[in-house]
Structure formats: C-alpha cells, structure tokens
C-alpha cells in the first residue's frame, strides 16, 4: 500500500484534473484516498448512483444527495474548496454529451477550482474530449509477504470466532496457495481466503483447485483461454524419461526465479499424434502444482480487421494475470500457418506471439505441441523463445509395457495378472493413445462375453487395430528424419 500512496500523492500534486483507476476493489481505493486526505489537506468525497455525494474522510452520517450524475457534476463545479471526488462506476454516464461537457469544464477550471476527479470502475475508457486532461493509475497487486499476512489475518479471525481452534494446514500448501493468489487484488484475495478457511477450517491440497477456479472466474477473457483442471503427474505418463528429468530439474528455477530473464521459458513437443504430448502438458502442470491454461487459436479469429490480433493480446494478458501458470498451445502449427486469403492475419498473429514470447516477464511457462513440422517458422523455435525442442517418438517395448500397466491400473485391474511383455511385443508401432484404446475396447469385449478382462481380450483388439504408424508411415518417416539432429529425444 505504501508504494501506491506515494505514487498517488505524486500524481495528485502534479495537478492532473482527471484520474482513472480500473479495479473491482473500491474499498481499497477509498482507504488510500482517505489516508491521502491528511497529507494533502484535502477533503475526499465519494459519489455513486445509489449513495449520491458523501464525504468519506470524516466520520459523518450518510447523506444521500446529488444522486443524479448531472446534479452531482453541477454541485462539484459550484464548490470552491479544492476536493478529491471518487466517482464510482461513472462509465455508463460518459455516453451523455452533457456530462462529458461538464467534466471538461471542471477539468479546464482546475487551476481555479483545484478539484481532482477520480473515476473508479472495473473497466473504463474516457472519451477523446477528456483523455487529454487525464492520467491512468494502476494499483499495485499484493506480493507474497502481503498475501501471507492476509492468510494469517483471516486465519486469526476464524480462530477467534471458533473458540480458539487453529486453522489446519502445512507449510508447502500455504506456499502453493499464496503463489496462486498472486496477481489478485487485496479484496479478491481476501474473499477467496475467507471462503476456503470458513468452509472446513483448513487450507489443504483440495483447496488449490478451488483457488485456481476462483482466479479464473475473476479474469476478463474472450473464451480463447480455458483453464484445464484435469491435470496429472508424471506417474500417469509412460516413458519420456529425458523430458521428465528436464522438467523436474527446472521446477524450482521457474517457481523461485529471482530474475525473470533467467527463468525457464518453455518447450516445444514435436511428434506423432497420440504419442503423449498433450498428456505431458497436463503432467507438467500437475508436477509443478500450477494452473494449466489452454489457448485455442481457433476461437481467436475474427472477420474484422485487427480484431484477431486484439483477441490474442487479451488472451495473453489473461495468461499473465493467472501467472505463475502453464500455457498449453496445442497444435501450434495450425494457429500460425500462413495462407493467401487471410490478409496477413496469420503473420501478424505470429509476430504478436513471438514478441510476447521473447519479452514477457510474467512466470508463464509455455508447452507448445506440433504434429506437422513443415509449417513451423524458424523464428518460433529459436533459443530465447523456447528452451528446448523434444521429439516424442512412438514408445519402445519397455514403454509400451509401462503404458499398458498404467491404463490397467486406472481401471482397477492388476497389471501382474496380464502378460505385459507379450502385449508390448504385439503393439510394435502403436502410440500411447492406441494402446489405451485397445485396453478400453477389450473391456467392452470382456463385458460382452460376461467375463473378466483377460490378456486374450486385449490381444483380440490389438489384432483388429491398424496403427497410425502404418497408415501414415511416410509422414512419420519424414518427421523422424527432420527430428534427427534438431531435437532432443523425449525418451
């Protein structure tokens, strides 16, 4: 709060007549200006359509007067004492030319009147006639220490209300929850903390998803960015040993990076369809206990010039607001493939994405996946934008046996009851997704026979499957040829 007070005081002393603050935390803004009224020696008034004009820097009984916008602005203009006016949710009334003219006259008369008008709203854009007299102020967001203090404060409130019972938690969970609350305003963070504590008197691992969901709901997003809650850990991923080791080594470097320039930036996973690229993205988020955001480029495109690029910028801003997080860009080659009939939209989108990838400071780790490497521009895969390119090939025999075991356990079957070595031999050329489907189809077959799932059921389904490696043998051969010497094997 101290930095905001200092910066706001400098802004007010610079004698700018109009200030805009975009926030949902009106009470925090009110407290800031109440404290400033003492050092500046100026009264502070607040206006809203429901409460009208009332003084907030002194303890006074509520007075509801001048609730109409024109009436309030007229009274402000007629007042000779320099005053700070907080105009709450005034944006709907800026469409009225009369109100705009009154505001302009108050701004023009600032040298004589000395009034400062502060527009406080969740979203606000001043008309062109007023923008020359205005300045935008962005409230700082609470850091880790302030959030920790906020959690302790709310835990204390709960404890006093609950006959001295202590909130149950542990150090690791507190650190994760505190990390997930970064990027929120004080008011939003307090409401989430209060909710999870008062629910069961505990802050535990189950609350992490609730915090992520709450943060995601607070974001203004255009639908291109979705939050994936079905994350997993690497125990559910067969093979990919090199990738697993690489990710584990960089976890602390990403979460505790002192310098944004040195934190891990992201990876590109290239490989055959069904090889486990998407599963790996989910597993990284699960391993690092971070939100997983999926960017859907298909929903970004708009027929109007410039709208597609704006949608992309808003989606990336939303990802930064959720940081620290994992940003999963699936099949990135489809998103940036240039065509002759898009008026250069694809190239502009690529330029915007590359600039953001290189310059962002927010802890957003990118996991991009691609199936068709011919469409990948060289500027996308250079060092500095992504840390490494991993090639996800078809699983070898040992990995196939491991994948069978994973999917059998998921369905409450014991892997030791099945001939995994023989199943792995029979599925040479199968992807992880094809192995899973063989297990799923075999359960249907066993149910049809009114029998318990056996190795023979899985063998039957394997024999009826034509894997993608045979159907698209030429494409996979080209992919392997391209990956040799250019990528790091994921397994």
| Cα–Cα distance measured from residue 323 to residue 183, given in angstroms and rounded to the nearest whole number | 7
Domain assignment present for residue 313? The answer is: yes
Cα distance between residue 247 and residue 327, in whole Å:
15
pLDDT of residue 306: 57
Secondary structure of residue 45 in the 3-state scheme: strand
Same-domain status, 79 and 38: yes
For 330, the domain range is 264-389
Last residue in a domain, options 339, 365, 389: 389
Q: Are residues 365 and 416 in the same domain?
A: no
pLDDT digits (tens, 9 = 90+) for 87-96: 999 999 999 9
Q: Has residue 80 been placed in a domain?
A: yes
Domain contains 405 = yes
Q: Which of 84, 111, 136 is at the close of a domain? A: 136
Co-location of 122 and 148 in the same domain? no
Q: Indicate if the pLDDT at residue 1 is higher than 60.
A: no
Q: Are residue 42 and residue 166 in the same domain, yes or no?
A: no
State whether the Cα torsion 329-333-338-342 is positive or negative: negative
pLDDT at residue number 159: 83
Distance between CA 468 and CA 430 in Å, rounded? 7
User: CA torsion 318→319→325→326, rounded to 10°?
Assistant: 150
pLDDT band at 341 (very low <50, low <70, confident <90, very high): low
Which pair of tokens denotes residue 152? 């302790």
Render pLDDT for 262-294 as a digit per residue (tens, 0 to 9): 788 999 998 888 778 888 888 888 888 888 888
Q: Is the pLDDT of residue 395 over 60?
A: yes
Q: What pLDDT does 417 receive?
A: 92
Contact 475, 374 (CB under 8 A): no
In a domain, 24, yes or no: yes
End-to-end CA gap in the chain: 49
Same domain, 34 and 123: yes
Sort residue 124 into left (φ over 0), alpha (ψ -120 to 50) or beta.
Answer: beta
Q: Which residues are CB-contacts of 295 (< 8 A; sequence separation ≥ 6)?
A: 224, 225, 315, 319, 327, 328, 329, 330
pLDDT above 60: residue 371: yes
Under 8 Å between Cβ of 169 and 204? yes
Same domain for 298 and 332, yes or no, is yes
Residue 342 above 60 pLDDT? no
The answer, yes or no, to whether residue 408 has pLDDT greater than 90, is yes
Kindly provide the residue ranges of all beta strands, DSSP E only, lying in 127-211, ordered along the sequence.
134-136
User: Domain with 440 in it: what CATH number?
Assistant: 1.10.8.60
Q: Using one digit for the tens of pLDDT, what is the confidence trace for 131-162?
A: 989 999 888 777 777 888 888 888 888 888 76
Q: What is the pTM of this model?
A: 0.67
Decide if 479 is inside a domain. no
Instruction: Give the CATH number, domain containing residue 320.
Output: 3.40.50.300
Same domain for 347 and 430, yes or no, is no
> Is residue 121 domain-shared with residue 34, that is, in the same domain?
yes
* Coil vs helix vs strand at 167: coil
In a domain, 84, yes or no: yes
For the segment 2-25, the average pLDDT, to the nearest whole number, is 86
Quick one: 215 exposed, middle or buried, by C-beta within 10 A (0-12, 13-18, 19+)? buried
Number of domains within the chain: 4
Let me know whether 312 and 358 are in one domain: yes
- Are residues 60 and 123 part of one domain? yes
Is the pLDDT at 130 greater than 70, yes or no?
Answer: yes
**Can you give the pLDDT at residue 103?**
94
Same domain, 27 and 89: yes
User: Which of the 8 DSSP states describes residue 61?
Assistant: -
3-state secondary structure of 282: helix
**97 shares its domain with 153:** no
Distances (CA, A) of 66 to 44, 49, 63, 105, 254: 16, 9, 10, 19, 53
What pLDDT does 20 receive? Answer: 93
Single residue among 323, 356, 389 that ends a domain in this structure: 389
**β-bridge mates for residue 55, sequence order:** 45
Residue 251 in domain: no
Provide DSSP, 203-224.
--THHHHHHHHHHHHHS---SS
Answer yes or no: is 248 within a domain. Answer: no
């Amino acid at each position: 709060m101290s930095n905001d007070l200092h910066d706001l005081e400098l802004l007010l002393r610079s004698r700018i007549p109009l200030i805009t603050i975009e926030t949902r935390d009106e009470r925090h803004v009110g407290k800031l200006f109440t404290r400033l009224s003492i050092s500046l020696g100026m009264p502070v008034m607040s206006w809203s359509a429901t409460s009208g004009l009332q003084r907030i820097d002194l303890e006074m009984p509520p007075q509801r007067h001048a609730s109409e916008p024109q009436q309030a602005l007229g009274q402000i203009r007629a007042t000779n004492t320099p005053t700070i006016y907080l105009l709450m949710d005034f944006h709907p009334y800026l469409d009225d030319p009369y109100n705009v003219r009154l505001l302009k006259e108050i701004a023009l008369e600032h040298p004589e009147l000395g009034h400062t008008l502060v527009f406080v709203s969740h979203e606000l854009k001043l008309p062109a006639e007023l923008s020359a007299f205005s300045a935008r102020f962005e409230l700082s967001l609470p850091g880790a220490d302030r959030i920790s203090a906020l959690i302790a404060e709310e835990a204390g409130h709960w404890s006093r209300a609950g006959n001295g019972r202590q909130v149950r938690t542990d150090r690791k969970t507190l650190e994760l929850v505190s990390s997930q609350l970064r990027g929120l305003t004080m008011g939003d963070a307090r409401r989430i903390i209060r909710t999870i504590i008062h629910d069961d008197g505990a802050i535990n691992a189950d609350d992490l998803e609730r915090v992520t969901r709450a943060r995601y709901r607070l974001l203004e997003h255009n639908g291109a960015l979705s939050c994936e809650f079905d994350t997993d850990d690497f125990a559910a991923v067969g093979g990919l040993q090199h990738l697993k080791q690489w990710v584990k080594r960089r976890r602390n470097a990403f979460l505790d990076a002192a310098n944004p320039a040195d934190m891990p930036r992201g990876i590109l996973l290239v490989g055959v369809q069904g090889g486990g690229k998407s599963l790996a993205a989910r597993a990284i988020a699960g391993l690092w206990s971070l939100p997983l955001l999926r960017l859907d480029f298909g929903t970004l495109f708009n027929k109007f010039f410039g709208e597609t690029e704006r949608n992309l910028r808003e989606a990336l801003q939303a990802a930064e607001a959720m940081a620290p997080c994992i940003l999963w860009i699936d099949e990135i080659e489809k998103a940036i493939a240039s065509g002759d009939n898009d008026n250069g939209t694809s190239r502009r989108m690529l330029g915007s994405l590359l600039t953001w990838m290189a310059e962002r400071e927010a802890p957003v780790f990118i996991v991009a996946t691609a199936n068709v490497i011919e469409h990948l521009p060289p500027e996308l895969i250079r060092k500095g934008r992504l840390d490494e390119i991993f090639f996800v090939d078809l699983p070898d025999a040992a990995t196939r046996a491991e994948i069978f075991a994973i999917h059998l356990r998921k369905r409450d079957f014991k892997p030791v009851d099945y001939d995994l070595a023989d199943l792995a031999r029979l599925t040479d050329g199968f992807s992880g997704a094809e192995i899973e489907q063989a297990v799923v189809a075999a359960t249907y077959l066993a149910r049809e026979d009114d029998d318990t799932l056996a190795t023979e059921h899985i063998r039957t389904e394997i024999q009826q499957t034509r894997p993608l490696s045979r159907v698209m043998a030429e494409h996979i051969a080209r992919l392997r040829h391209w990956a040799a010497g250019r990528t790091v094997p994921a397994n």
